[in-house]
Structure 1
């Protein structure tokens, strides 16, 4: 195999990455035809493997939206824009050949309105434009896994009103068996990305205040994606954010920790996800579902997962519990509860960490 530097690589100016003459070329279509969804998370840890069966274990089958395997990227590599959601350091060290990177602080940026914090779609769109992304491009996002840095990037595209397809690479970089780039990469040609904010992808603090705990049945399905200790406001727990004035959860919310969406480097088997959210959590796929966490990154995993398994109207509370718990003024308008709680147990782990390039055989 060979390892390629991108055409615009400038190795003499970048001492952090590997040497420019270190190259690898993979088999772009080695996994063609493979549809092995939900393969054991230890595949590739024992015995001899090839690029084909490493990639094959990350293929996605069934009626699943957004998440795709390496074969999709091999088939669409010339037409799709590839975005790397990892840190700048890991991007320089190794990345999918030709991939681009958008600063993570830009796609998590918020702006304050009278109704509460919302995504700063102007800043988000400007960052995508600087990366050479056009609103009608088909975009594939990848990271070390399918963790929340990846799904936040996908959400940011949707929030800015992206017209092209938005895909996430199941398995992340570990599942890719094609060309790899290294070193610094020159700035791509910028585009004029005019945002068309998709306000239906998020809700505000005041929107929720008018609906949570509604007794007429018109309130949204509300999912708290944090660890159970934070949801319960467990006294003395390390999970409690010391910057929050109050602890607990929004009235009527149930708890499904977002890590249950991820099995190592891939999405959890879709059938298990359907059981988790439709059977165990009893969410209505035809109703509005709002997800939230402490901030606006981790809950995007649940936002994208629910959309992937067929929930039509899924929205993110971008202000998060931090905004709700620390709201000034009428606390009665923004109540927090601990007495009533529903915790749905989950199993899952993010292999290698959101910002890691390591592959974990234990998931």
Structure 2
């Protein structure tokens, strides 16, 4: 796995004293304070980097909000950010994508979560002293961003793109984009270790679903949270042509987009 995208607990543990490595805990404040957190971590709860005016879709919060969040967390644009949660990284992955979209060059996901870290390394209840910064975001230009909108998705349906639905089976069978492949985001996680499965196993698993590096891939779920995790994993595996449908199925249905419904056939499920 590419450690410029996903880092191991060992990688992070060896850099806890590095002032340029900033650890972000995206759990709720009560978890951060009451349960404990990684040494030196700052708390940026998941709800704080969602657009409050668009709760249903959970879209990005805007450059001004991100500048305030990262500035108040004492983060500078040149810092290396490592994000984690306690839900296999799905909420932290959303933070990773958010920071990348607003121009932070070096932001990574911790392989595993708080519980995985806690099995091997110490945690703390002490909050670090934070000196706020004047953070200036630099949002990606549309041609640089992996995010695609409704119209771009309509166009991609006419091409040989692989549409990957990262939700659960019952959601997929209730409504999905035409021709979509079901790939529950949790399939990449080892339930016992709470970390990602080995690289070779991940590559074989994805290939079994037709999700290969040579294809154009468009990810969607309901509110762009679960696809964040799959996006980060694919980038860590070296996939380059990966698109991220920010509006996901919520927007698609609101625009009366074409859908398929019903059970997966035995052939598709093989």
Change (3 A) 1:286 1:137: farther
- Matched residues in 1 for 2:238 and 2:176: separation? 26
2:224 aligned residue = 296
* Rounded Cα–Cα distance in structure 1 between residues aligned with 2:182 and 2:85: 26
Deviations 1:79-126 (A, max 9, x none): 3011112111111121112111113123233888xxx99634412343
Q: How does 1:1-363 map to 2 (within 5 A)?
A: 66-77=5-16, 78=18, 79-93=20-34, 94-109=36-51, 119-122=60-63, 123-164=65-106, 166-173=107-114, 174-176=116-118, 177-178=120-121, 180-183=123-126, 187-197=130-140, 199=142, 200-212=145-157, 214=158, 218-233=159-174, 248-264=175-191, 265-278=194-207, 280-327=208-255, 331=256, 334-338=257-261
String of CA shifts for 1:256-287, please: whole Å, max 9, x gaps. Answer: 11110211321122222111212x11123133
State the 1:201 CA deviation. Answer: 2.0
Which 4+ residue blocks in structure 1 deviate beyond 4 angstroms? Answer: 62-65, 176-179, 183-187, 339-346
User: What stretches of structure 2 of length at least 5 have no aligned partner?
Assistant: none
TM-score, structure 2 length as denominator?
A: 0.83
After superposition, the C-alpha distances for 1:12-64 in whole angstroms (9 at most, x for unaligned) are xxxxxxxxxxxxxxxxxxxxxxxxxxxxxxxxxxxxxxxxxxxxxxxxxx666
Gaps of 5+ in 1: 1-61, 234-247, 347-363
Paired positions, count: 257
**Residue 291 of structure 1: SS of its match in structure 2?**
strand
Distance 1:284-1:198 versus aligned 2 partners, 3 A rule: farther
Matches of 1:226 and 1:145, distance apart in 2: 15
**CA distance in 1: counterparts of 2:198 and 2:86, whole angstroms:** 18
Q: Secondary structure at the match of 2:218?
A: strand
Report the CA distance shift for 1:313/1:117 in structure 2 as closer, same or farther (over 3 A): farther
When residues 203 and 110 of structure 1 are mapped into structure 2, their CA distance, relative to the original with a 3 A threshold, is: farther
CA RMSD of superposed structures (Å) = 2.8
Question: Relative to structure 1, is the Cα distance of residues 63 and 345 closer, same or farther in structure 2, using a 3 angstrom cutoff?
Answer: farther
Shift of 1:288: 2.6
Q: Are the counterparts in 2 of residues 121 and 197 from structure 1 also a CA contact under 8 Å?
A: no
Tell me the SS of whatever aligns to 1:76: coil
**Residues 184 and 64 (structure 1), Cα distance of their counterparts in 2 relative to 1, 3 Å cut:** closer
* In 1, Cα distance between equivalents of 2:214 and 2:150: 23
SS in 1 for 2:82: strand
Q: TM-score, normalised by structure 1?
A: 0.63
User: What is the SS of the residue equivalent to 1:182?
Assistant: coil
Secondary structure of the structure 2 residue equivalent to 1:180: coil
Measure how far apart 1:67 and its partner are. Answer: 2.2
Who wins on radius of gyration, i.e. which is larger?
A: 1
Cα deviation, 1:135-192, whole Å, max 9, x if unaligned, reads 221111122253311211111111112112x222223233254553315555542332
